[in-house]
Amino acid sequence: MSDVSLDVRPGEVVGIIGPSGAGKSTLLRVIAGIESANSGQLNLCSHLYDFPCDPLRLHKPWPKTTLVFQSLCLWPHLSLRENVLMPLRQQMDMSKIERAEEYLEMFQIEKIGSRFPNQVSGGQRQLFALCRALSLDPDLLLLDEVTASLDVEHIRTLREVITDRSKQGVAIVFVSHSLGFVRKTANVVVFLDRGEIHENGPVSILSDPKTDRLKRFLFAADELNEIE
Amino acid sequence: MLKILSEHAGEFAGGLRTTLVICAWIWGLGIALGTPLGVAAGRYRVLVGMPVRAIGLGLSGIPIIVWLFWLHYPAQYMLGIVVDPKLTAIVALSTLNIFWVADIWRRCYEDCPMQYQLVAKVSGLNPGTIAWRITLPLVARHALPGILIVQINMLHASLFASFISVDELFRAAQRINSQIYKPVEIYTALAIFFLAVTIPVYLVANQIQKRFGRDYSET
């Protein structure tokens, strides 16, 4: 990535779009503090990380900043409920555990909590990974392709949760290939390609793109929509 | 065979006791010291991992009996000491076990997907909880089968201790056979003794496998 500059404020919902290999997930990992950049700065919740550095060894931003990975990464030896509750038990905050139970009910997955990750569908795993991150009550929530395996009803519930969390002041940055989801959920859209931000601004840039690259990208998406 | 067993029960029991004592030391030291060494080797790949790999490779290249004889004769001669052969056998076989167990842990630690630890970090888990609740169970699942096979092999390797005059089970059987020459009965009895030790170890291994080795593959 080069010359990437992004300013995310509390309560803002930023949707990052772009072709595969554009650097979207890498950007999220750098923001999450689990990958280092060669140069530049990251100001995360009033803490400045000056790259090149290894954020893991410095002030740890987690779980106030947390990330839901593209590859889910539920711990396979723990039940789904334990996957959600274990980080909360360490914090010994009963209100967060209660909130976790609420999220499980909201996504209608509370009854399968005793199963293990390999015993449920990809979409259900995605929901548990989401519940784990949401229950941590982060100030900055990073979501990498979380809608990939979800059905339309769960995507709708997720949109409601994201809107609710952002109203509570939580900043949310998500990566998605679903332009419909980005249009309906994000306040700000960032178009990334080959490690560079080609265009960013309000959701209206998706209707009125300024750069040729974004125009080509949206044209391809429109073509796909017509086929569907 | 039963007649021979009953007539020489004391000698067989003494040999079996010595074999089990040697094995208990070899297993205990190998697992207790090999586990932290292997985890450290996986975590600090250059500082600990490379020396562990080099020593493990060196020890694997030397036949067990050569290693045992070397420690029993030339090493003691060079150092000007005389050590109880049972202790020599324990030191020789435990050293092998420690480095073989460590190498299994190291390989499994290195193969454990980093993503699981990263998820734990971004979820705010502290390093102790990550090690104890996430990394260790995942690594142990892969390491246990190999470690248990090595322990069975160490039981079998304990036979070599008879060559340096340790009065273990095989040596007891040889001594009885030299007195009454009934090789079929005596060595069949010996095989049964080894099965009697190996089968419980396999059963324990199975239980541990069932406890930690649930199938994690995703459909």
pLDDT attached to residue A35: 86
Q: Which fold has domain A1-64+140-228?
A: Rossmann fold (3.40.50)
What is the extent of the structural domain holding B15?
Answer: 2-212
A152, A198, A204, A148: which is closest to A178 by C-alpha? Answer: A148
Report how many Cβ contacts below 8 Å link chain A to chain B: 68
The domain ranges of chain A are: 1-64+140-228, 75-137
Tokens in use for B44?
A: 């600090």
| B151 within a domain of the structure (yes/no) | yes
Of residues A223 and B219, more confidently modeled: A223
DSSP A35: S
Q: What share of chain A is helix, strand, coil (3-state, %, to 5)?
A: 45, 20, 40
pLDDT attached to residue B8: 84
| B217 within a domain of the structure (yes/no) | no
Instruction: Specify whether the CB–CB gap between A130 and A107 falls below 8 A.
Output: yes
Interatomic CA distance for residues B38 and B136, integer angstroms? 12
pLDDT attached to residue B218: 61
Indicate the pTM of the whole model: 0.81
- Per-residue pLDDT tens over the stretch A171-208: 999 999 999 999 999 999 999 999 999 999 999 999 99
pLDDT attached to residue B154: 93
Interatomic CA distance for residues B33 and B21, integer angstroms? 18
Q: Is residue B50's pLDDT more than 80?
A: yes
Which residues of chain A from 38 to 77 reach within 8 Å of chain B, CB to CB? 56, 60, 62-63, 65-67, 69, 71, 73-77
- Per-residue pLDDT tens over the stretch A124-177: 999 999 999 999 999 999 999 988 888 999 999 999 999 999 999 999 999 999
pLDDT attached to residue A58: 66
Q: Is residue B219's pLDDT more than 60?
A: no
Chain mean pLDDT for chain A:
90
Selection from A38-47, A83-92, B210-219 with the highest mean pLDDT: A83-92
Identify the H or E element spanning B70: helix B64-72
Strand bridging mode A140-144 / A188-193: unpaired
- Chain B touched by A123 (CB under 8 Å): no
CB-based burial label for B104 (10 Å; 0-12, 13-18, 19+): buried
Question: Average pLDDT of A16-36?
Answer: 91
Interface test with B, best of A28, A90, A125, A126 (most B CBs within 10 A): A90
Q: In what order do the strands lie in the sheet with A188-193?
A: A65-68, A140-144, A171-175, A13-17, A188-193, A196-202
Of residues B36 and A38, more confidently modeled: B36
Instruction: Give the closest of A56, A73, A122 to B119, CB-based.
Output: A73
Taking CA–CA distances from A132, the nearest residue in chain B reads B123
Interface test with A, best of B115, B118, B123, B214 (most A CBs within 10 A): B123
Residue B41 pLDDT grade (very low, low, confident, very high; cuts 50, 70, 90): very high
pLDDT attached to residue A154: 92
Question: Cβ contacts (< 8 Å) between A63 and chain B: which residues?
Answer: 122-124
- Per-residue pLDDT tens over the stretch B167-200: 888 999 999 999 889 899 899 988 988 888 888 8
| B44 within a domain of the structure (yes/no) | yes
pLDDT attached to residue B9: 84
Count how many domains chain B has. Answer: 1
- Chain B touched by A132 (CB under 8 Å): yes
**Domain of residue B11, CATH code:** 1.10.3720.10
Is this prediction's ipTM beyond 0.90?
no
Interatomic CA distance for residues A180 and A70, integer angstroms? 19
| B219 within a domain of the structure (yes/no) | no
pLDDT attached to residue A228: 61
